[in-house]
Copies of this chain bind each other. A is one copy, B any other.
């Protein structure tokens, strides 16, 4: 575990503890916004202080009236250079909010914009407790434990620090063959829907917009499993592919219902079922908050093999970073 990260977290959490807090805002773009979203879900269930997620420009232009000196604004940009997120952090700070930013790049514009800075590791060598979700979860359970101490939060932090990395590795190994089969079977699909609910929804969203639309140029849309029955389910047919994430815990019944219906009418269902995950090392009473992270790692491996079977590397872009926009 990186000691600098631990120190940065401690300083940020102390700052939150020292202030009167009336709301939390999670602000970022695209994949980084999706990364922050599970933290909002956890706060929503665990604490009475309200919280919300915004795409950075929507946050700046909408300018929520409750944003002010009693707000905590948590932002994230992998490169630390996403202009909208840098501006949103500056905007929040100008309103007196306590700002905390997560980024892989220290001394980046985002790093310099935020009052409290959290670096995370990245790449094949990075440990899970020090990567983006690891830092975020240690932050959010640390804030919860500071504001309303409970042993459960300490167990959640210990789960990140000692159990998450190995859980990622074991579940990746367990789903390797399934990922290859997915890549082979779905390589010619021009459209693949994703579906999830609760804390897993943001993984359906990021898989749709980052992995499929952005990195594979495959049409997609993330469907909320509860919303599915109020419109989207009418496009279900034998040849329409769906990747369905089924979580564990409180929202699973929504996923079950959507999966039960969808598989009756589509022959192309890919099920990522959190009940099949090996969650050894993650405290039993917080597994509902951790299964989504494993689903994200499993899905990333699915995308990797889809990319290989399609001969379309995940790194290829036609617009992003190649022109002004």
Q: Which residues on B sit within 8 Å (CB–CB) of A219?
A: 191, 219, 221, 235
When the two chains form their complex, are residues B50 and A325 in contact, meaning their CB atoms are under 8 A apart? Answer: no
When the two chains form their complex, are residues B253 and A198 in contact, meaning their CB atoms are under 8 A apart? Answer: no
In the complex, A178 has a CB within 8 A of chain B: no
Q: Which residues on B sit within 8 Å (CB–CB) of A82?
A: 230
Q: What sequence of 0s and 1s flags, for each residue 179-211 of chain A, a beta carbon within 8 Å of any chain B beta carbon?
A: 000000000000100000110000000001110
When the two chains form their complex, are residues A61 and B251 in contact, meaning their CB atoms are under 8 A apart? Answer: yes
In the complex, A89 has a CB within 8 A of chain B: no
Among B44, B198, B214, B224, point to the contact of A65 (Cβ < 8 A): B44
When the two chains form their complex, are residues B65 and A48 in contact, meaning their CB atoms are under 8 A apart? Answer: yes
When the two chains form their complex, are residues A198 and B61 in contact, meaning their CB atoms are under 8 A apart? Answer: yes
Q: What sequence of 0s and 1s flags, for each residue 99-139 of chain A, a beta carbon within 8 Å of any chain B beta carbon?
A: 00000000000000000000000000000000000000000
In the complex, A234 has a CB within 8 A of chain B: yes
When the two chains form their complex, are residues A63 and B197 in contact, meaning their CB atoms are under 8 A apart? Answer: no
Among B48, B55, B218, point to the contact of A224 (Cβ < 8 A): B55
List 27 A-B pairs, Cβ < 8 Å: A23-B50, A29-B227, A29-B229, A30-B230, A32-B230, A33-B227, A44-B64, A48-B65, A48-B66, A49-B66, A55-B226, A58-B251, A61-B254, A62-B198, A82-B230, A191-B219, A209-B227, A210-B231, A213-B231, A213-B234, A215-B234, A217-B235, A219-B235, A234-B319, A234-B320, A257-B325, A261-B319
| Residues on A facing B (Cβ under 8 Å) | 23, 29-33, 41, 44-50, 52, 55-58, 61-66, 68, 82, 84, 191, 197-198, 208-210, 213-215, 217-222, 224, 226-227, 229-236, 250-251, 253-254, 257, 261, 265, 317-320, 325
